[in-house]
Amino acid sequence: MTQAAYAIVNLSAVKHNLEKIRAYAPNSKVLAVIKANAYGHGLLRIAEALMDVDAMAVARAAEAIRLRKAAYSNRIVILEGFVCEQELIELMQYDLDVVVHSIDQVEVLEKYTGPKKVTVWLKLDTGMNRLGFKVADLNTVYQRLLNASHVNPAILLMTHFSSADEVSNHTTQQQINIFHDAVKTFFGETSLANSAAIIAWPDSLTDWVRPGIMLYGVSPFADRKGTQLGLEPVMSLHSRLISVKMIEPGDAVGYAGTWVCKTQTKLGVVAIGYGDGYPRAAKVGTPVLINGRRVPLVGRVSMDMITVDLSTQPDTKVGDSVTLWGDGLAVEEIAEYSDTIPYTLLCGITQRVEIKKVNSD
């Protein structure tokens, strides 16, 4: 008997994707981005597959502390840094690198006198206007950090792109130029590239690259799938058919009766819904794989179930296995049918979905 909703996370695919990243950026070290529970794949299990990476990045302290408590001794960077002295002290107890993006953080660092020196990734805002110092402030901030007695003088410099996934948007080249120009008189290592930039913007490949989505085998570009970029999907989401029946012309299916059947139809009910992280916005026609064959979603996505039109699959029966995305059905495609990006689908997998890991090619 097949199981209700579960996901398979293929660690061999993570390793394959890491190799691919190294091939795209052969002269760079890899800061593997495993924030948000490793994009929904499970923090510790992905960290396990990435043991030989140069460093790992998470957004928040709690994620890094989980890694340390599980005995991961790799270099870890906190992308959002800290907001006060107490938080910095805690981060330093766990030997974590911090991103420094605001003058408030610089003030905290100037007062800090802990036992170890703080390793800083100094973030420049080259146009995204989210986190980071303006280029005009770089010199002053850098000097203040160098003068702080408990800051490691090997300060790294980084920036983040707003539009690297749009390959004909000139913003990225402008950000790259602003960054290179701003840092040319400084000595530290630098880091610019996220996944999209690793593939599309060679001038952004410096000492460190910061891949996230491509580690999970997913394309950062709207018009290409991960498999077309040589990546292997890491997560596949599965469930099973729990009901199969005939419905009659005029029958309205699901909440609000938005889909009305025109001819006698074989209707299947699959045990997956937005309570598992399947997108409620998935439109009628979104492909679903049953026994490896595509059928269209019909009606609205409910919390625990979706309905599919099985007319083209007369042999399907209760208990048959269903793939919502993964091998043979790209999560990129489901994102498109749901007017979202694959990032939100992967991150959105909920607690009740059991995640099984496998190591297979």
Ligand X SMILES: *Cc1c(COP(=O)(O)O)cnc(C)c1O
Active site residues per annotation: 35, 255
Q: Which of 32, 76, 79, 297 binds ligand X (CB under 6 A)?
A: 79
Q: Which of 220, 226, 233, 299 binds ligand X (CB under 6 A)?
A: 220
Q: Which of 21, 38, 157, 213 binds ligand X (CB under 6 A)?
A: 213
C-beta of 60 vs 69, nearer to ligand X: 60
Question: b/e map of 161-189 (b: 16 or more CB within 10 Å)?
Answer: beebbeeeeeebeebbebbbebbeeeebb
C-beta of 42 vs 268, nearer to ligand X: 42
User: Which of 76, 36, 27 shows the shortest CA–CA distance to 216?
Assistant: 36
**Count of residues interacting with ligand X (CB under 6 A):** 12
Count CA atoms within 13 Å of residue 52 on its CB side.
6
C-beta of 33 vs 234, nearer to ligand X: 33
Contact range with ligand X by CB under 6 A, out of 3-11, 206-214, 263-271, 352-360: 206-214
Which H helix or E strand runs over 47?
helix 43-49
The residue whose Cβ lies closest to ligand X is 212
Distance CA 361, CA 356 (A): 15
Asked if residue 41 binds ligand X (CB under 6 A), the reply is no
Distance CA 342, CA 39 (A): 10
> In the beta sheet, which residues pair with residue 158?
123, 191
C-beta of 203 vs 251, nearer to ligand X: 203
Amino acid letter, residue 269: V
Asked if residue 20 binds ligand X (CB under 6 A), the reply is no
Question: Which parts of 102-161 interact with ligand X (CB under 6 A)?
Answer: 160
Q: In whole angstroms, how close is the CB of 166 to ligand X at the nearest point?
A: 13
Q: Which of 42, 81, 211, 273 binds ligand X (CB under 6 A)?
A: 211
Query: Using an 8 Å Cβ cutoff, are 211 and 191 in contact?
Result: no
Q: Which of 28, 172, 190, 195 binds ligand X (CB under 6 A)?
A: 195
C-beta of 41 vs 238, nearer to ligand X: 41
Contact range with ligand X by CB under 6 A, out of 21-29, 68-76, 193-201, 256-264: 193-201
Q: In whole angstroms, how close is the CB of 278 to ligand X at the nearest point?
A: 21
3-class DSSP state for residue 108?
A: helix
Beta-carbon count within 10 A of 359 CB: 11
Structure tokens at 14: 């993570």
Query: Using an 8 Å Cβ cutoff, are 308 and 288 in contact?
Result: yes
Structure tokens at 67: 């890694």
- Note the residues at the interface with ligand X (CB under 6 A): 33, 35, 79, 160, 194-196, 210-213, 220
